[in-house]
Amino acid sequence: MGYLGFGFYVATINITGLTIQNCSNGTAGGAIVVRSNVHLSNTRWISNSAEMGGAIQLYSDSALSFQGTTNIFVNNSATLEGGALWMHSSFAYLDGSETFRNNNVGGNVTAASANAFLSLATLNYPPGGVSIPYVVGPVVSYPQSYVDANSNCGSACNGSQDAPFSNIEDGYLLGLSRSGGFLYLKPGTYAGPKNSNIQLQFMYLTIARWPQTTGKVVIDCQGNGFGFMFDSGDFQISDITIQNCVTNSTNGGAGMYLNFTSANLDGVYFVNNTATQGPGGGISILARTMSFNGGGFVGNSATGGGGGLAAQQAAVFLSGGTVFSANSVLGSANDLICNAFGVVTSDGTPLFEPGGQGNCEYVVSSQNSLAVFTGKLGNLQLYPKNSQGLLSDLFAGLLFDSLVELDPNGNPINSTRVTLQQLTWSVTKTTHTRFVRFQYDGLGPDVQFIRDSGLLPAEQNPHRR
């Protein structure tokens, strides 16, 4: 291929397990990233070439992060600058396990920017780690800021572990850089004017419990405003509870409002939050992606749907047994709502209140999940799309590799296994004003409904009318 281009303003892209090699069309190599966030895991970028950034170019407030497993950049080349990476007005975040080898500029592997060239950009690396070699431009370690609700150092507080700030606002305003960093909260309850109505934007930020500590971190709005509003950034949040927050905004999101923002939440609970004029008592997300592992939504309420969670033009993935309990809209059980291309997927483990899924298109995707037709997947009943019985508007798509019959003990009978490729598929395409929906039927009209749907914005839909 010539190159891979990522130019979506609201795009958050996860690339896992791919090898991109021998790509070039002169000006671009392996990938172009514009106003987007790209997460790399176990990728290999080999022998790609360009004028600038043989493997990857980043522009305009983009962010590139390396997550968890080794990413390899080998033999990439540029004729001008940045043998592997070229960055302008952007950020990159290393995790310490990357491999950069034999990248070059004009054939010179010892050139100053053989691996990376930075223009008005920042390359971050883990505390105590080292940067990749041959970097031109500012290179800094992730800034870290520590907060303790019981801190009493006064004007001497500097955000260090020995002199932590006493509130969250000082923690990020005084302790972090413009691009973000790590904000660590000591277990305790954070309340008061500088611990709610928190607005953050254009950051790559991690908010987590102070390392090597135990106990709960609770952010309590005490009914005096919303919790967090994140705008145009990438946020990692873990092990905190956000409670008793209120918003009157029509955007909703009393506990958290995510606007053109990507977020990964791990072990985060939203409790007794209220959106009085909009959707999403716990969380409201607009136009990006969010993953939510464990944690839960308990006792939240909203007037605009989604007592717990609202997704608009956004994709949400739930895993790890996320709990939904006692969330409501105008007194009726309602956990989720999806509007305008919003979609919720999960690994099948979240527990919903009866009838709590609202109008969300709910897709279960897990290689380890077992579907019994008609039956349950986790706590989710699967129905044919056109069923006329109870909860007839509730149906789900199931992504699968194979189907197999079970014996009376629930064990698979492998001789009955049929793979996705072995099925004969028919397809129905429905064109709407703003998107195209594809529905595939491989099991016949009398068997449970399985669908693979693609939603495309109107500007990318050649069939729009």
Whether omega before 214 lies within 30 degrees of 0, making that bond cis, reads no
> What DSSP letter does each residue of 410-440 carry, written as one string?
S-EEEEEEEEGGGS--EEEEEE-SS-EEEEE
pLDDT tens readout for residues 133-168 = 656 665 566 789 999 999 999 999 999 999 999 999
Residue 431 confidence (pLDDT): 55
Beta pairing partners, 315:
289, 343
Per cent of the chain over pLDDT 90 is: 35
User: What is the distance between the alpha carbons of residues 158 and 218, in angstroms, rounded to a whole number?
Assistant: 22
Q: Which of 62-76, 140-154, 162-176 has the lowest mean pLDDT?
A: 62-76
Phi first, then psi: what are they for 60, rounded to 5°? 55, 70
pLDDT grade for 303, boundaries at 50, 70 and 90: very high
Residue 354: its pLDDT value, please?
A: 53
pLDDT (mean) for 267-271: 98
Q: Which residue's entry shows tokens 């004017």? A: 193
Residues recorded for the chain? 465
User: Could you tell me if 315 and 341 are in contact, meaning their C-beta atoms sit under 8 angstroms apart?
Assistant: no
Asked if residue 352 has pLDDT above 80, the reply is no
pLDDT, mean of residues 39-54: 88
CATH 2.160.20 fits 144-312+321-339, yes or no: yes
- Vertex 171, ends 143 and 184: CA angle to 5°? 65
Average pLDDT, the chain: 77
pTM: 0.63
- Asked whether residue 307 carries a pLDDT value surpassing 50, the answer given is yes
What residue segments make up the domains of the chain, in order of their start?
4-141, 144-312+321-339
Distance CA 138, CA 316 (A): 35
pLDDT band at 424 (very low <50, low <70, confident <90, very high): low
Neighbours of 216 (CB within 10 A): 12
